Structure 1
Amino acid sequence: MEEGKLFKQLRQARGFTLAHLSDDLNSRSFISKFETGASNISLHRLEHLLGKINVSFEEFLYLRALDQGTAHFEHVLYTPMYLTSVFIEQLDRVLAINKDAYSSAESMQRGIRQITALKKEIADKQDSTFILLYADSIQHTFKVNLEANVAQTQTEAQTQREHFFETYRIRTRPVVSYLLKVDDWGVYEVLLFRYFQFLFPIDTSHRLLKTAISRTQKESGLAVMREVQLDLLFSTFSTFINFRHFEWAKEALDLAEEILFDQGDLLNSANLLCYQGWYWYILGDIEKGIQKFDQGLSVFRILKQPKQVSLWEMMLKSVKKNALDPNRYLVFR
């Protein structure tokens, strides 16, 4: 739906006439031309008109996206959200493929084909360099995990994983350079860090995490920034613990606990218990690790969240394998 047509629909639904809205900034004739698509409108004039019918600019953009079928990005964060961002729309599509790829070898093969098609589609889009690089890393991850399912020696599998990280730590240098160059991070930069951090050198991820968290706190009025705080901490924890940086892993969990204190966020609090179980199990306190996992799983069961129960039961199996052999992990995003 065009902006003018949507505005007319909202105006009429609220009982406003053109005469009600016309003033020195927007004449009756101009509003009529805007609604019929005969005239373009500036951001300032549109914001002024929306204020007169009591519709926020953000709501207007959301309703426009809803009509276009792109109003829900369900894979970027736990809570579906929407922002007027081509990058986030493309990222969500990559993550949707990634989410469905790990049930079987066939699904990973399908994921490789889907990523290949998506890369062709977005290759010519403006500023698509970083999202193409991320899609490439996900596709490479599928291939690494498929090859890991084929009979390999432990040395061969480890060499393959090391090569993967060496390759992408070089290829993601432009992403690191960009993030270091930008002083005032917004949603784009924070999400860029969140989804690339596992490919960075570990000390770089640790250093940039502080910047990312400070920016989410600065813009905490945006729901996406509040949600991404914990996602950042949990994802960097996963990176730190897999590479056995225990102090940094503990820092991430402690900050997550501080953010969650007295917030009533039961699902993320249960997630935190499971992450704490992961930490203690890998650290060597198996009893405490299992206790934390059991506490988190109990909360999920009480809240009737079977998908989360299944996810963490599967994760616990991987944690147990990883505790015995630090090289026994799937390449993770």
Structure 2
Amino acid sequence: MMTYGETFRYFRKSKGLTLKQVADDMNSVSLIGQFETNHSRISVERFVHLLSQIAVSYDEFQVKRRGTTRTPVQQQIHDFQALMSIRKIIADDGQHISEEELRRHFQQLRKENEGHYNLQLAQYVDLVQYQWEHKPTDSVTESYPRQLQLYFAQVDEWGLYELMLLNQCFRIFPVAISWQLLQIVRKKVTLIAKLPGYNSEIANVYFSAITAFTARHDLAKAWQTWHLAEKFCRQQNAEGSAILLPAMAGWITLHEGHEERARALFDQTLEYYNMLSLTEMHDRWQQILEGQISAYHKKIPQYFVFVTPFE
């Protein structure tokens, strides 16, 4: 796998650009040279600016650097999550993978990490283990994994991994902690949003938090988070994610006891999918929202982790 500097040097040279042609007030010739030879690290902002200087998208850059958009560990986590994805559940007529088979796959992840330790995989294993040992309830005990909270607070540069990990943590963190971490997200998104393809992941964080706050009956926090999501989608022109804003408003409204109003909001999102001829998305979300109404009547808390669709 190539380093970031080596990959940047490859693209710069392939376009016939010299260091002097790429350099400017933000990135000097010396700094770029040190970055390319792995003698210096640069900030996300400087890196994004360099990509714009050579007209290369982040996705194109990562494909060249790794040969894939995911690291091997990210692929392992992705494959495990795909076993429980809503697409798979719907495709299998609502049938979940058996607990025995799921635990067998989980043990493979654990063994992989014991043999070749990786921080990301270790954090994911700890998270899944905690979720299995503690059934979702309206309250969160003091035993939640604080090491994950500290990681979010201390890591300087947030990327796709941090967003995906936080998505998984909302169901186990106390409301106050989740709200604090959302404030960190607000500060980080200015830089993260500049990376191509990240808008949907940021919106997913807000949507997942809304369901967690709603499940814990903190509807005030849920509405505050909805407004953060609406503002983000509007500022970033994230039309794909904005389609779900009415449905998320309906999610909260349903738990306020206004079912008819909630259904009308759900229908807005479904109608958007119809207008865009996104039949698969329409059918998927119709089942999800109907399931949410059914769970509401049965008084079953509904935590939902929003992720980009599994390939």
Q: TM-score w.r.t. structure 2 length? A: 0.70
2: CA distance between counterparts of 1:189 and 1:101? 25
Larger RCO of the pair (alpha carbons < 8 Å, separation 6+): 2
2: CA distance between counterparts of 1:273 and 1:57? 31
Q: Which residue of 2 aligns with 1:212?
A: 185
Q: Which residue of 2 aligns with 1:42?
A: 37
- Post-superposition CA distance 1:270-324 (Å, at most 9, x none): 2111111111122112222111111110001111222322232222223222332
Q: Which has the higher helix share?
A: 1
Q: CA deviation at 1:217?
A: 2.2
Counterparts in 2 of 1:318 and 1:55: CA distance versus 1, 3 Å: closer
Say if 1:237 and 1:252, in contact at 8 Å, map to a contact too: yes
Aligned residues: 272
Say if 1:198 and 1:205, in contact at 8 Å, map to a contact too: no
- Matching of residue 269 in structure 1 with residue 242 in structure 2: yes
- Matching of residue 112 in structure 1 with residue 103 in structure 2: yes
Counterparts in 2 of 1:12 and 1:245: CA distance versus 1, 3 Å: closer
Q: How does 1:62-211 map to 2 (within 5 A)?
A: 62-66=63-67, 70-71=68-69, 73=70, 88-99=74-85, 102=89, 103-106=94-97, 109-123=100-114, 124-127=116-119, 128-137=121-130, 140=132, 160-162=135-137, 166=141, 170-180=143-153, 182=154, 184-187=156-159, 188-211=161-184
- Matching of residue 303 in structure 1 with residue 303 in structure 2: no
Q: CA deviation at 1:332?
A: 4.5
- Post-superposition CA distance 1:99-121 (Å, at most 9, x none): 16644144554333222222222
Q: CA deviation at 1:191?
A: 3.6
- The Cα RMSD (Å) is 4.1
1: CA distance between counterparts of 2:126 and 2:261? 39
Counterparts in 2 of 1:163 and 1:206: CA distance versus 1, 3 Å: closer
Q: Which residue of 1 aligns with 2:30?
A: none
Counterparts in 2 of 1:8 and 1:240: CA distance versus 1, 3 Å: closer
What is the percent sequence identity of the aligned residues? 18
Say if 2:137 and 2:301, in contact at 8 Å, map to a contact too: no
1: CA distance between counterparts of 2:291 and 2:64? 42
Counterparts in 2 of 1:275 and 1:125: CA distance versus 1, 3 Å: same
Segments of structure 1 that go 5 or more residues without pairing to the other structure are: 22-40, 74-84, 145-159
1: CA distance between counterparts of 2:301 and 2:165? 24
Q: Which residue of 2 aligns with 1:239?
A: 212
Give 1:126's aligned amino acid. Answer: N
Which deviates more, 312-321 or 240-249? 312-321
1: CA distance between counterparts of 2:196 and 2:63? 14
Q: Which residue of 2 aligns with 1:35?
A: none
Counterparts in 2 of 1:332 and 1:220: CA distance versus 1, 3 Å: closer
2: CA distance between counterparts of 1:136 and 1:197? 15
Counterparts in 2 of 1:13 and 1:137: CA distance versus 1, 3 Å: same
Q: How does 1:52-71 map to 2 (within 5 A)?
A: 59-66=60-67, 70-71=68-69
2: CA distance between counterparts of 1:55 and 1:266? 24
- Post-superposition CA distance 1:237-267 (Å, at most 9, x none): 0101111111001011111112222755333
Counterparts in 2 of 1:184 and 1:305: CA distance versus 1, 3 Å: same
1:222 alignment partner, SS class: coil
Q: TM-score w.r.t. structure 1 length? A: 0.66
Which deviates more, 108-117 or 246-255? 108-117
Segments of structure 2 that go 5 or more residues without pairing to the other structure are: 19-35, 43-49, 306-311
Counterparts in 2 of 1:94 and 1:171: CA distance versus 1, 3 Å: farther
